[in-house]
Structure 1
Amino acid sequence: MDPLLTGEQAVLGAVLLDPRQLDRLGWLEPRDFYRPAHQALFGALRTLGGAGHPALAAEGAVPLAWLNDSLAEAGRHVQGLTASYPHALIAACPRPANAPVYGRMVLEGSIQRTVAEHAARLLAVAEEGARQHEADGTVAQSDVLVGVLVDLARRWGTPPRPQGPAVPPAVVAAAPAAGQIEDERFLLALLVHQDGAIGEVFGWLRPGDFADRGHGHLYRCLGALHHRGEPIDPVTALWEVQRRGLLADGTLTGERLSAVLGNGAAGSAEWLGEQLLRGSLNRTAAVAARQIAAQADGDRLAPGQLIGQALHALGPVDQVRERWRTATSPPDSQPRPRADQTARVSAALARSPARAAGRTMPGAASARIPCVVTAPTVRTRPHRSSS
């Protein structure tokens, strides 16, 4: 026995037995039903109800015209409905008064199918984007999925808040696109051998954007040197790798390091970094889509949990796309940080719980002191002279 099929039959049978149940099912839509015949039949019932069918005002037994007219209206949109099928639906309904409960079962199944369907679409678009070396389609499809999740949350009556799963589903990341590992190696060689090149990508490229784990760790080493204001060249890079134990634990090998540190490279670090970030966006979206599809498989999660965990899975996609927007937007369009954040601090303090009357913090003055936040001072590590 299929619970979803039983629920669809029960809610249709309830409306056929008592047309006034339509008033309690205004939130249910024909597309929420899985079977096309059930979609057409529920749509017909809503159409007749909206037109003021006489059965809505009938007292006692429902007139036979309600069943016949519903069947005729549904037959305009789908084939295969017989005169006996409405009677089978009526027999499947234990109590017409439980129609809202049956309807919620139908809506729950619809939410699970809708989430799985749009996750599959995002996965297909992300995989195609990886092959075509473009990310616009992935960005657009992720927006569609977020919009679908927000709409489903509204219909279910739950706030659309990201909710992390207790145990994240195990998802195997797809293999990187052809040539991507070589592009990463070329970019790292360029960052090592071209003075100042890392400044072109340091603001938005992250170690996790590299498909190869070892390349990501090597980029982290170069970023640490840049952050400390130290020079980047084959010698300093090798020393940082050694200090972090990446050779001892096997994360990197001498042969792989030689491919980066031993050969010079010339080109645009910014352009190569954008290519890597585009690939990272597609990979991250594909992983999120697989996680959402795994969560939507079966009836293990309630709709509110499924929606929250799907939004949580899309969080890393939003982070990568924000950096993608930063990397590809003109410099003048970048948002500038506010120097004075007094208003934001005051708003945060206003949201804090009030202290009990007569209690003050030790050493606090009775008068309110305005809080002014200044930009932090950036300190760079001085270079040591060779003498």
Structure 2
Amino acid sequence: MTPLDRAEQAVIGAVFLDPSQLDRLTPWLRPEHFSRPSHQALYASVLALRERAHPGSTAVVGAVPVSWVADAVTEAGTRTRGVTASYAHQLVAACPHFGNAVVYGRMVLEGAIHRTVAEHAVRLHQAARADTVRGGAEETLLRADALAGMLGDLARRWSVDARPVPPPTGPELVARAPAVDGELHADEEFLLACLASRPDQFGVVVGWLRPEDFADLGHQQLYQALGALHHRGEPVDQLTVLWEAQRRGALNDLDLDAERVLHLLDPLGVAGSADYFGERVVSAALVRTAAESAQRIRALAEDAAVPAGRLIGHALHALGPLDEVRRRWHTARSGPPPGKPQPPAPERASPGRAEAARARSRPHRVAPQPLAAAAPAPVPSRTPRRSPA
């Protein structure tokens, strides 16, 4: 039997011994916070008896009628199966002290917080996987909103501020992302080809498309190289991008090599809209980020050593990256949201700035130093000859 099971038994046993403890429990402890169906049924039963003004609900300690427990067992039998009078007396015996009912109740609520957060994280992860197959993001966003709302409600019940709190540094909770889906891989490749063939389209996507939105690491590096050339106002073609990727140390045998760069940026037959494919890439990044956030939150919720208040803050912090991608996804679909002006997208560098950037890439020419003028050789002094007298 786990400590949580014992805490649930102690709460119900305390209510059986002292019905007045319900006055301190009912404002924040509900039947669904209990993990076992029998405990849920018994706690709901005493609440129902109290609502109907049962004589035992106002009895003092030591004068509680037997009908208080007996009627609660009968009421619980209508809600679930397997609740017996002997088990009710076992709950009374399991209560160390009925005056500590609030403390035991907080244990039950803390266990419910862990369990509820884990359940919502699982639902978010399932919705993200389903949207990955469907190619949408609507169900993922609904589950993410439900998770955020649930965390706010739990924060109020636990009497803590619903604010993000970064978890302590530790081992990575989420493994490396799986292989990129074939359709998404093709979308990313076509987007890069569109930007390489028409660099003017960078102005459309640069405000909301980030390198980390690409699922493929090689595509991330190519997008960074393209963006650097565009920002400096330099020509964009296969060779310039290849050279920029090499300067950034992106060429290797695993994610990116010269042949792959030339193949991806082949301008032949490229005719498409960068904003369309960019929106698809951001949508996929939104779903992927939701799945990663759900995995982190679930791992935190399944760690019983994490206090409930910290779990709520850590879970809200794990949703932060999803909120950031969601804002950019909304901008890609419909422009900046009303009332929230977005910072202007960076413009292409001015001619003077571009020339200065190109100058930094050219080898410096060392001006020849003028040779010092040779000093005239000294004329050896000659002793004057005396004329004959």
Q: Which moved more, 1:229-238 or 1:191-200?
A: 229-238
Q: Name the Cα RMSD after superposition.
A: 2.4
Letter in 2 for 1:76: T
Match of 1:291 among 288, 296, 307: 296
1:66-97 superposed Cα distances (whole Å, 9 cap, x missing partner): 01111122122112211211101101101100
Identical-pair percentage: 50
Pair 1:224-2:228 in alignment: yes
Secondary structure at 1:320's aligned position in 2? helix
Measured in 2, the distance between the counterparts of 1:274 and 1:58 equals 65
Secondary structure at 1:280's aligned position in 2? helix
Distance 1:381 1:48, change over 3 A: farther
Q: Which moved more, 1:118-127 or 1:70-79?
A: 70-79
List gaps (5 residues or longer) in structure 2: 359-389
Letter in 2 for 1:4: L
1:2 aligns with 2
1:244 aligns with 248
Matched-pair contact (CA < 8 Å) for 2:336–2:342 = no
Match of 1:171 among 171, 174, 180: 174
TM-score (norm 2): 0.84
Match of 1:155 among 154, 157, 161: 157
2:324 aligns with 319
1:64 aligns with 66
Matched-pair contact (CA < 8 Å) for 2:193–2:264 = yes
Measured in 2, the distance between the counterparts of 1:14 and 1:332 equals 53
Letter in 1 for 2:206: F
Letter in 1 for 2:113: I
Letter in 1 for 2:207: G
Match of 1:257 among 258, 261, 265: 261
Matched-pair contact (CA < 8 Å) for 1:8–1:102 = yes
Correspondences of 1:34-53 after superposition (within 5 Å): 34-53=35-54
Per-residue deviation at 1:230? 2.9
Match of 1:215 among 215, 219, 244: 219
Measured in 2, the distance between the counterparts of 1:129 and 1:256 equals 30
Letter in 1 for 2:49: L
Matched-pair contact (CA < 8 Å) for 1:150–1:160 = yes
Measured in 1, the distance between the counterparts of 2:342 and 2:57 equals 62
Secondary structure at 2:20's aligned position in 1? helix
- The aligned length equals 350
Measured in 1, the distance between the counterparts of 2:281 and 2:18 equals 60
Match of 1:190 among 171, 194, 198: 194
1:336 aligns with 341
Matched-pair contact (CA < 8 Å) for 1:171–1:287 = yes
Match of 1:76 among 78, 93, 99: 78
Secondary structure at 2:85's aligned position in 1? coil
Distance 1:95 1:195, change over 3 A: closer
1:369 aligns with none
Letter in 2 for 1:139: L
Measured in 1, the distance between the counterparts of 2:63 and 2:272 equals 82
Letter in 2 for 1:380: S
Measured in 2, the distance between the counterparts of 1:334 and 1:130 equals 31
Per-residue deviation at 1:238? 1.9
Per-residue deviation at 1:272? 0.5
2:92 aligns with 90
1:244-290 superposed Cα distances (whole Å, 9 cap, x missing partner): 12126865211211221234321111111111111100110000001
Measured in 1, the distance between the counterparts of 2:348 and 2:249 equals 28
Distance 1:185 1:384, change over 3 A: same
Matched-pair contact (CA < 8 Å) for 1:16–1:67 = yes
1:29-73 superposed Cα distances (whole Å, 9 cap, x missing partner): 000000111111101111112222211333433100101111122
Measured in 1, the distance between the counterparts of 2:321 and 2:343 equals 25
Secondary structure at 1:196's aligned position in 2? helix
Per-residue deviation at 1:177? 2.6
Letter in 2 for 1:38: H
1:32 aligns with 33
1:206-233 superposed Cα distances (whole Å, 9 cap, x missing partner): 0000000111011011112222233322
Pair 1:302-2:307 in alignment: yes
Measured in 2, the distance between the counterparts of 1:267 and 1:378 equals 22
Letter in 1 for 2:47: R
List gaps (5 residues or longer) in structure 1: 340-375
Measured in 2, the distance between the counterparts of 1:49 and 1:198 equals 67
Measured in 2, the distance between the counterparts of 1:169 and 1:244 equals 27
Distance 1:329 1:223, change over 3 A: same
1:380 aligns with 350
Matched-pair contact (CA < 8 Å) for 2:242–2:258 = no
Matched-pair contact (CA < 8 Å) for 2:233–2:348 = no
Distance 1:280 1:378, change over 3 A: closer
Matched-pair contact (CA < 8 Å) for 1:125–1:138 = yes
TM-score (norm 1): 0.85
1:274-323 superposed Cα distances (whole Å, 9 cap, x missing partner): 11111100110000001111111131200011111111111100000000
Measured in 2, the distance between the counterparts of 1:174 and 1:90 equals 52
Matched-pair contact (CA < 8 Å) for 2:128–2:287 = yes
Measured in 2, the distance between the counterparts of 1:161 and 1:337 equals 24
Matched-pair contact (CA < 8 Å) for 1:115–1:296 = yes
Per-residue deviation at 1:337? 5.6
Q: Which has the larger radius of gyration?
A: 2
2:285 aligns with 280
